[in-house]
Structures are given as C-alpha cells and as structure tokens.
Structure 1
Amino acid sequence: MEKPTPFKPGCLPALIGSLPVKDHEEAVDLVAGHTPDVPIWIQLPMYRQEGMLNQFVSGVPGLVDTGDKVYVDTSSQEFEEGLMAFYEEYLAVTEAGQPLEESRFAMKPEHAPGFFALKNRLETAWPQEFSAIKGQVTGPFTLATTLMDQDGRAALYDDRLRDVVVKILALKARWQAKVLGAFGKQVLIFLDEPALAGFGSSAFLSVTKEDIAALFEEIMEAIHQEGALVGVHICANSDWSLVLDSPADIVSFDQYEVFEQFVMYKKDLKAFFDAGKIVAWGIVPTIDKELVMGEFAESLEARWQTDMKQVEALGIDRATLLSQSLITPSCGTGSLDLEASLRVLELTQEVSNMIRYKEQL
C-alpha cells in the first residue's frame, strides 16, 4: 500500500461522531452528503451498545452487564483468570505476531455497526475521492473515570483496570487504523475525552498532568505505529496544554463557546502549528436546538474569520493556519433532534465551503 501524503486539510469539513438517527445506512448517507472529503463512521447513541462506555469495553476481563449497568467485578477468581488471559492475548498480538483482527481487540459489528456500514460504503459506492478517513474511540481518561468496579470505584484508581483500559483502547484504535488504512488515505483516529473538561476540579484533584500524559502515551503510540494521525476531542473548556503539549496531531474543540480560553495557551498553540499539526475548529454550535437554528453560515464564517485574526496575531501565518485547519461542529449531534442535527451538518458544510471559496483553497 502506498503511504498517504502528509495531510493538510485546508479547512475541509468533518464531523465529530454521533447522529440522532435509527439507521446506520442513513447515517452514512448523511456523512456522504455533507462531509464526503473526510468520511467518518457514526455512533447512534439511541442504541445502548453504542454509548461511550459500552462500545469499547468488550474484551475487558471480569466485565458484568446487568442490563441496567456495566461494571467490572474484580473480587472474583474469574477476574484474576481473565486478567491473565487478557495479557497473554495482548502479548500474543503485540510481540508474538498473532493477527490483530483475530483477537479480542478487533471491533465487531454488534459493537460498532456504524464502522462496518462506512467500510462497506467506501468499498462499494462512495460518491467521490476523499482526503482522509476518521475513526474514534472513547478517550482513556473518560473511559477510566466512567468504568467502575463492583464497589463503584473508577478504573482510573485501580492500577490493574487502568492498564487494561489503556491497552484495550490502544489496540481497538490500532485495529481501526489498520482496517481504514487499507483505503490508502490518511487515517485520523480521535480520542473523545469529554471528562477532561473536569481536569483540575475537585472531582480529580489527585490526577496530575503526568497521569494524563501516561494514559495518552501508549494509545497514541499504537495509532502512530499504523501511520494514522491522533486527534483529541474535548467538548468543553479544559487545560489545553494537556493536548497541545502531547504527541497528538489534531486538537478538536468547541470554538463557538471556548475560543477565548483556548487562545490563552499562546506558546503551546504556536508550537503546535509550527510542528505541522492541525486544529479542528468547532465553530458550529451543538449545545441546544435554539442556538443551532438561530445561526447562519454567514454569521459563523464571519465569526471564524474574526477569531482567526487573533490566532494570526500569535505569530501563525495565514497560509499555515488555513492549511492546518478542519471545520467541524463543536461536538456530536446525538443529543439534538433530527431537524437541528441536519442543520448542524448543513452549516458545517456551508461554512467550510465559504472559507475555502474566499481563500481559494
């Protein structure tokens, strides 16, 4: 397979990951119609198995699903035996050459039907040439603070479970990168990290930057090993140095709501651009229907241009800024109704088109 050329998105539109529809083929249709240059597989949160926790925990030893909740029972003998089997399989894949696609780390249609719906469409009937393909996993901090043991203790605070979370996400992400890489385009694998908005709060006072960096390191390395780029999406304000100073290639954030806080990280942001990395500007709001329906492409494009003047003032030249930018919604649209969600998709496409036309990209 020929290696993809370095990805410079030039303000192409892309989506974050969720839609409020019932049918995965319909979701693929919407992606193909609005962001065909950067195909993405879609999660449908109306299905329980496609939630941020449930979708990526298959294969975790000791996993219990009662129908009402999912947790890990670390108190049983079965957990200890399962943990040993988990590491044996992990080493078989990473060191002994067992095919990743034949392991517990390969995602299955029952857990990620949107992935397989996109893959099939790309193989058979995508409407045009595309520049990159986007996949995603729940980020390690978010999953490790959401997955609990039988006593309600988060996996983050159990050394065994934290390591399992990192390793299972690393190989599920690597599997996606491997499968999508077969199309010969640049693969982008995003870590969705809504919980990082709480970093530094009273809920996570004991968590340090070094802890976050350690969670990121193994997963990002696994993705990079497959030639894919790593994105990190945080849908609210955070300590942006966590991402800007990490090995991540793309930072995705809510420009509409937290732009002023984001550009406070002046040195980090300039170094990020200087390293050839990419910012996904979440200029289209998704927080509620009233806000979405009250915006227009012209107003959002004007707002984006005004914000970019501040970015240029940091010493980032216009050509670099335009080349290394994606235009996105601020978050997924799974929590909106269909009318508002479709409006978000339309606005994302229209704002990108306006920028690319004006800038002759």
Structure 2
Amino acid sequence: MQVIGGCATSAMGILPHKDVDKALEMAFSLDIPFWPQLPHVSYYEDMYVQFSEHFPGIKIDEEQQRITLDTTLFYEELPAYLEKSADPDTFALSEKYAYVFHRFLEHDLSKYPAIKGQVMGPISFGLRITDEDRKPIIFHDDVRMVLFEFTREKINHQYRVLRQHNPNPIIFFDEPGLEFVFNSISGYTSDMAKRDLADLLAGIDGIKGVHLCGNPDWDFLLNADIDVLSFDAYNRGDVIVRYESVQRFIEEGKVLAWGIVPSHIEQIENETEDTIIDRLEGLWDTLVAKGADKDKIVQNAQLAPATCNLVGPRNEEAVEQAYELLQRVAARLKEKYRLD
C-alpha cells in the first residue's frame, strides 16, 4: 500500500445531496474516489449515527434526530457485545446505516490508484454523544475504553472490505472534536487524547488518515502516527504552515491533503483557478522559505475541497462548483510540476 500524492484530488465523505447517483458521480470524478455519506437521504447516513451501529447502549430517536447513550443499557448489552466482538462482521456497515457505501462497492474500484473510506473519530463521537444526564460519554471510563476498541475494529473491518475492491485503500477518521480537547471547556485533556489516539493508531492495519476542519494544536497531529493529514487549507493554511513539524511531516514522506477550494457559495463565487493556485502556492512558498523542499511538498500533496457544506445556501450547487474548480486547479498544477 502507498499513500498517493502528486496533487491527486480527493474529498471527505459528507455531501449535501439527496440524489445518490449524483453524489456517486461526484465521488468518482476525483482521482481518489470515496463513498459518500448523505445525511439528507437518511438520518442513518449521518456520520455519528452511522458510526454507532452495534455500539452497546446506544439509542437512536429518528423522529427527533437524536442519538444518546443509556448507561444502564450499556452495561446490560456489554456482555453480549464483548462476545460478538470476536466476529468481525459485528463491525460491518449494514445497508440500513450505510446504503451509499454498498452502492459504492457495486462499481469497478480496481482501476483507481486508491480509494477512500471514513469513520467518525472516537474523540469527536465521545464528546458529542451524551448519556441520559447529558454528560459526554467520553468521560465514562468504561465507555471510553470500549469506544476506542470499537473504532479500531470498525476501521479494520472497513479496510478488509475495501481491499477486496482495490489494493490501496485509505480510511480517514473525521475528528472535529480535536479542536476542543486543548481548551478549558472540554475536560478531556490533551494528554488523555494523545494516549488514547496513540493506542488506537497502533492497532490499525492500514494507511492512517485524520481529517478536521477546525484549528487544534497542529503539533499534536503532525507528530502522531498518521500517514495523511487532511485540513482546511483555504481558511487555516496560514496557521498550519507556521509549525516547524510540517516540514518534518513532509520529509518523512507523509501526505498533506490541502483543502484549498472553498465549498460555500459566498466564497467560491469570488475565486478562480488563478486565485486558488496563488493561495496554495503562497502557502507552499512559506514552507520553502523555512527550508522545506518544493518538490517534496508537491509530491506529497493531495488537493481537496476545504470543508463540507450541509446547510449553507445553494449548498449542492456550491459543492458541485467546488469539485469542478478543484479538478481544474489540480490539472494545471500537475501540468506545471510535471506530475502526470
């Protein structure tokens, strides 16, 4: 397995579309296609709900669109869960929870240099999902231990499935919650996060990717045992390039997925191929001025939309424009740097 760079295009899984065929068409328009998550098609396509399948104690209120953990039910279901956890299929994505994933697998995936999957990150899930007293479940020691083991098995099962269709899959876990573990309101400390994340990464048997759109302590991620870091370069790029650890990350052959094309209509209507390329190369030039090798930066780069867009105005139109602009930008950069 290898991590594909060279300004290859990819994206995170969430799309605002209600048309499954259109979403898949967009996913397959990229160099590294992904299976879309479409929460506007079904509540079970929401990344938090999708991740929760088979986790003990989970209650899903589809009508109120709410997911919670019942701690009494957690302990009641835990023995049966632990027994079933020996069966890898316990961690499979069913059609009810991931219909589009199964549609994705119906396509010929072997012709692509790589394919991409994703899961909800355990830190974000643990901070977002609460118990009956509205306490985030990450603060329950027993629940947190099961949560990280559960995540590892979910990722490894998805790897096994994707490898049946393409020899070079990569799975990202989406961790918006990492932005909050470094501030005073979380209560889940950075030391705890580092320990738990390191244990999780050590148990993953494939390429390891992390995505987030926020602004965490980037050193934390750049020094973690990951192979790809996907981030919002359009809005946060000037922050991340200040870190000395970025250069080391690239020199070690790891890949940065630069989310350089905005997906909100008020931003993308003010951008062109030239302005996006200028913005991206300006970030690269900042790294070069600090001693990074330009060829390595380019060779170890993927290009992506900056963020998802589920609720913004004209969101489907904006995302489609972003994908089109992304591909034009990538084509020009590949030609300029002779990457094809």
Task: Tell me the distance in 2 between the aligned counterparts of 1:222 and 1:23.
Answer: 36
Of residues 150, 169, 172 in structure 2, which corresponds to 1:187? 169
Shift of 1:335: 3.2
Q: Normalized against structure 1, the TM-score is what?
A: 0.88
SS in 1 for 2:302: strand
Aligned residue for 1:355? Answer: 333
SS at match of 1:340: helix
Alpha-carbon deviation of 1:183? 2.7
Aligned equivalents of 2:209 and 2:33: distance in 1?
15
Counterpart code for 2:145: D
Residue 139 of structure 1 aligns with which residue?
Answer: 121
Q: In structure 2, what residue type is equivalent to 1:61? A: P
Separation in 1 of the partners of 2:14 and 2:95?
17
Which TM-score applies when normalising by structure 2? 0.93
Note if contact 2:9-2:302 (Cα within 8 Å) is conserved in structure 1: yes
Amino acid at match of 2:183: S
SS at match of 1:202: coil
For residue 275 of structure 1, what is the amino acid of its counterpart? E
Question: Which of the numbers 54, 78, 85 marks the counterpart of 2:80?
Answer: 85
1:231 match:
209
Any idea what SS the aligned residue of 1:167 has?
helix
Aligned to 2:34: 40
Greater CA deviation, 195-204 or 155-164?
195-204
Instruction: Please state whether the residue corresponding to 1:17 is helix, strand or coil.
Output: coil
1:107 maps to 93
Q: Report if aligned partners of 1:256, 1:283 keep a CA contact under 8 Å in 2.
A: yes
The 2-side partners of 1:341 and 1:255 are apart by: 16
Verify: 1:276 aligned to 2:259, yes or no.
no
1:340 is matched with: 318
Could you list the runs of 5+ residues in structure 2 that have no partner in the other structure? Answer: none
Equivalenced residues, count: 334
Tell me the percent identity.
29
Q: For 1:154 and 1:335, how far apart are their aligned partners in 2? A: 25
Question: 2: CA distance between counterparts of 1:63 and 1:199?
Answer: 23
What is the match of residue 193 of structure 2? 212
Match of 1:120 in 2: 106
Shift of 1:350: 1.1
Aligned partner of 1:14 in structure 2 is: 10
- The alpha carbon displacement at 1:214 in A equals 2.6
* Counterparts in 2 of 1:105 and 1:29: CA distance versus 1, 3 Å: same
Q: Deviations over 1:231-281 (max 9, x none)?
A: 111102111112111111111111111112112211x11221122110000
Distance 1:217 1:85, change over 3 A: farther
Offset, 1:71: 1.0
Name which of 225, 229, 244 aligns with 1:251: 229
Q: What amino acid sits opposite 1:12 in the alignment?
A: A
1:297-308 equivalence runs, <5 A: 297-308=273-284
Cα–Cα, structure 1 residues 73 and 344, in superposed 2: closer, same or farther, change >3 Å? same
Equivalent runs, 1:61-76 vs 2, <5 Å: 61-67=56-62, 68=64, 69-75=66-72
How far, CA to CA, are the matches of 1:16 and 1:292 in structure 2? 18
| Alignment-derived partner of residue 136 in structure 2 | 154
The amino acid across from 1:300 in the alignment is: I
Partners of 1:52 and 1:197 lie apart in 2 by 18
- Mapped partners of 1:282, 1:8: distance in 2: 15
Which residue is equivalent to 2:47?
52
Give the match's secondary structure for 1:19: coil
Root-mean-square deviation over aligned CA pairs: 1.7
Q: Mind listing any 5+ residue stretches in structure 1 that lack a counterpart?
A: 93-97
The partner residue of 1:260 within 231, 234, 238 is 238
CA offset digits 1:178-199 (Å, max 9, x no partner): 1111234321111111122223
SS state at 2:90 partner: coil
Q: Within 2, Cα distance between the matches of 1:210 and 1:200? A: 9
Residue 21 of structure 1, CA deviation: 1.3
Q: Give CA deviations for 1:142-198 in whole Å, capped at 9, x if unaligned.
A: 001011111111111001111222122211111111111123432111111112222
Q: Who is 1:163 aligned against?
A: 145
Indicate conservation of the 8 Å contact 2:17/2:23, yes or no.
Answer: yes
1:95 match: none
1:112 CA displacement = 1.1
The reply on whether 1:29 has 2:25 as its aligned counterpart is yes
Instruction: Report the Cα distance in structure 2 between the residues aligned to 1:199 and 1:263, rounded to whole angstroms.
Output: 21
The aligned amino acid for 1:270 is Q
Contact 2:28 2:34 in 1 (8 A): no
